[in-house]
Structure 1
């Protein structure tokens, strides 16, 4: 875990990747980092911005997914329906959208002066974004708790959960690769872990540059 010097010669912010499979509590954990004053880049929020009216995705997707673009914005529901009809088009969608997301992430990285920042990415390992991070925190939970959390969401079905999980690296494999792991069994224990991790990272990076 060693931050790289920026073009000015001073250490760049420490990049902590935050990831976890669906229902593990990643969004709640990301919110805790934000509450504690750390800048958080949220991959899902980035896509929402790109799809919103005035976002860059509409012009890029219109020639390829014209039915999903209207009045300068992209309908996620329409895209979801189109992909359900032809799952093979997911790769095409990703080829078009991922460069836009990468540009948004690069702008975030260039625009913060914090000592530690968080890259909140559900598919961090799957898309190789862990290579951009100095360390990775995996958010996890027992499988039965994960399943209960996800199926409690409005409109969620067993089939949808199975599809989501099929696109994500197994939790056990993520555990073997992560630098830090937190089990989100309660809000209080997770908050204590996050506070301790921030203190640990600040102490470590501070010592490296003392």
Structure 2
């Protein structure tokens, strides 16, 4: 099995690219989705997060906007939250890998792959990238996003240029969508060939 780490900064189109891998029959582990499940109604982490950050949860689980505001303004809070969340996501990832043990290729979709050292646990890394202006326009079009919040998020993410330097593959998303899809298909073909050799 070849494990491909898929990453990219906010607004780069990573979710779209992850769906393209899935459309091609590649099993995809979505770290964000795992976190939402763990933090959702009756999620396994809700009690621990409420204990660490009183007032950050409710009947629907973790109040992501409330917690995000705290995390984005205080790095020590982010570290504390990561200590709760990362082990649980790691368990979910291991269960996914076990479930797909016979696959030639799997994708781990992890937004902060480099920032959390996750690149040490994959065979190859693909970075989803777009022009900074395109990234900004996409991100600011999201509900409840402001230029100030966008700037605070970027502080916690490795710069796109650095991610691209460290990547084995770069997938552009500021091009025609079929070009992006072709880039995904080329990576799959390349890695499946490597896996067969």
- What is the CA distance between 1:74 and its match in structure 2? 2.1
What residue ranges of structure 2 are gaps of 5+ in the alignment? none
In structure 1, the partner of 2:158 is 169
TM-score (norm 2): 0.92
For residues 28-53 of structure 1, the C-alpha deviation after alignment (integer angstroms, 9 at most, x for no partner) is 00010111111111111111000112
- Residue of structure 2 in register with 1:203 after alignment: 193
Query: 1:155 maps to what in 2?
Result: 144
Structure 2 match to 1:68: 56
1:58–1:72 contact (8 Å) kept in structure 2: no
Larger Rg computed on CA atoms: 1
Aligned-partner Cα distance in 2 for 1:80–1:49:
17
Q: Does the C-alpha gap of structure 1 residues 162 and 119 become closer, same or farther in structure 2, counting only changes over 3 Å? A: same
Does the residue aligned with 1:67 lie in a helix, a strand or coil?
coil
How much is the aligned-residue C-alpha RMSD, in angstroms? 1.6
Cα distance, 1:203 vs structure 2: 1.1
Aligned length: 195
State the 4+ residue runs in structure 1 displaced beyond 3 angstroms: 81-88
> How many angstroms apart in 1 are the aligned matches of 2:125 and 2:5?
4
TM-score scaled by length of structure 1: 0.87
CA distance in 1, matches of 2:164, 2:71: 30
SS at match of 2:158: coil
- Residue by residue over 1:56-91, the C-alpha shift from the partner in whole angstroms, topping out at 9 and shown as x without a partner, is 101222321231233482221332344467553222
